[in-house]
Amino acid sequence: MNRLITLILLVGAWIIFQSSEKEATVLDKDQSLYEALYQLGYKSVDHSPDLSIAGASAQVGEDLVKFGFSDIEGQLKSKRQSKHFVCTSCHNIEREDPDVSVSDPEARLEYVVKKGLPFLQATTLYGAVNRTDFYNDDYIKKYGDLIQSAKHDIRAAIELCAVECAQGRELHDWEVESILAYLWELQFTLGDLNLDENEAMIIQKALNGDKMEMQAIQILESKYLKHSPAHFVDPRPRDKHSEAPNTGDVQNGKLVYDVSCKHCHLNNRYSYLNLDDSSLTFKWLSNKAETYSRYSIFQIIRYGTHAKHGKKSYMPRYPIEKMSDQQLEDLKAYLDLMAE
């Protein structure tokens, strides 16, 4: 009898051991990245929102990001921030890269099309609080010293975006904290980081206190970009008299036109220039493409336009990380085909 009891206890202990070991390797993919990092001993970042400021709330922040103002019942009212743009004019608020550790416009286009998102000039706000650097690389050419304070300070970056990018008014402190609180809700989760089984197991063990914290932090930090690269390039030199066939992929070009150009231009959404699917539009774009003017897709996409007195609405340029030269060729091929 004693032997039988001993055997039952042993089997029970083995089952408990097995199940607890299995649980230890299943990572909670919905766990926020910062929560995991803090648990691993990562030093806290200085851009967590200060919700002690009167009026600050993530709900207000969400309204500001999506609509440019907030008039939620029982909360402080926020006047329209910009006459021209809202945050989502140029930023997605969803994940837009299949692999958040690289900035690959080709992969991003495919990914956003599948998710029904636009393909935009600015980096998604999803995961913005997980970044440490803002207005990176060549943005200094555009904004000069203005980016110095915003380079490592997300609050200053939000203010700069409101005033310079959106050409609107300055934000109040409680509005900045509200936006930050909303962005905090958009931080990466562990499920966004494309961890393989081994990496997931190491992280889970570290989270369970198995002394692999540094390794786990290193793995996590290698899985996302802490800054969004942005390099401004000139349009590729073009020979408008060349009779060489366009090598662009027409299907890909259609995607660029639909989720990029039309996002802002269809029915004059953000622009006086209406771009639709009419043959007149395609002919016009195709004919202007090789010209040296702002109506050339190559010129406008690479250089954008600038806000000026009396006409503050403008088109931001696409850094090479946001639209590749091949995607531009694809767009040209599509426009040429549709113009025929």
Least Cβ distance, residue 285 to other proteins (angstroms) = 8
**Least separation, in Å, of the C-beta of 83 and other proteins?**
4
Helices (DSSP H) in 208-319: which residue ranges?
Answer: 213-221, 250-256, 262-265, 279-288, 297-303
Task: Write out the binding residues for other proteins, residues 118-137 only, by CB under 8 A.
Answer: none
Which residue number, 238 or 311, has a Cβ lying nearer to other proteins? 311
Q: Which two tokens stand for residue 123?
A: 């980096």
Nearest-angstrom CA–CA distance, 121 and 138: 14
Q: Specify the stretch interacting with other proteins by CB under 8 A; choose among 86-94, 173-181, 252-260, 272-280.
A: 272-280
Tell the smallest beta-carbon distance from residue 339 to other proteins (Å): 11
- Cα–Cα distance between 19 and 227 in angstroms, integer? 40
Nearer to other proteins, 247 or 278 (CB): 278
Q: Which of 198, 206, 213, 208 is nearest to 20 (CA)?
A: 208
Nearer to other proteins, 88 or 305 (CB): 305
**Which one, 218 or 274, has the nearer CB to other proteins?**
274
Among 6, 20, 222, 278, binds other proteins (CB under 8 A): 278
**Site stretch for other proteins (CB under 8 A), options 1-9, 170-178, 240-248, 269-277:** 269-277
Closest approach of Cβ 71 to other proteins, in Å? 16
308 beta partners: 311
**List 72, 274, 291, 306, residue binding other proteins (CB under 8 A):** 274
Of the candidate residues 284, 304, 326, 337, the single one contacting other proteins (CB under 8 A):
284
169 forms part of the interface with other proteins (CB under 8 A): no
Separation between Cα atoms, residue 125 and residue 90, nearest integer Å: 10
- Closest to other proteins by CB, 89 vs 178, is 89
89 to 66, 75, 192, 203, 213: CA distances (angstroms) = 9, 25, 24, 37, 40
How many residues belong to the site for other proteins (CB under 8 A)? 19
Residue from 268, 291, 292, 306 touching other proteins (CB under 8 A): that is 268
d(CA 190, CA 176): 26
Give the per-residue contact string, 293-322, with other proteins (x = CB under 8 A; - = no): --x--------------xxxx---------
Using rule CB under 8 A, residue 272 touches other proteins: yes
Return the amino acid letter for 316: P
Give CA torsion, residues 276, 280, 286, 289, to 10 deg.
-80
CB of 288 to other proteins, least distance (A): 9
How many angstroms separate the CA atoms of 169 and 159, rounded?
9
- Is 174 in contact with 155 (CB distance < 8 Å)? no
Least distance to other proteins from the beta carbon of 278, Å? 4
Of 68 and 118, nearer to other proteins (C-beta) is 68
CB of 85 to other proteins, least distance (A): 10
Cβ count within 10 A of residue 12: 10
Q: Does 67 bind other proteins (CB under 8 A)?
A: no
DSSP symbol at 160: H
Task: Return d(Cα 63, Cα 73) in angstroms, integer.
Answer: 12
As a whole number of angstroms, the distance between CA 314 and CA 307 comes to: 5
Q: Crossing angle of helices 197-207/213-221, nearest 10°?
A: 130
CB of 328 to other proteins, least distance (A): 20
Residues contributing to the site for other proteins (CB under 8 A): 83-84, 267-268, 272-274, 276, 278-281, 283-284, 295, 310-313
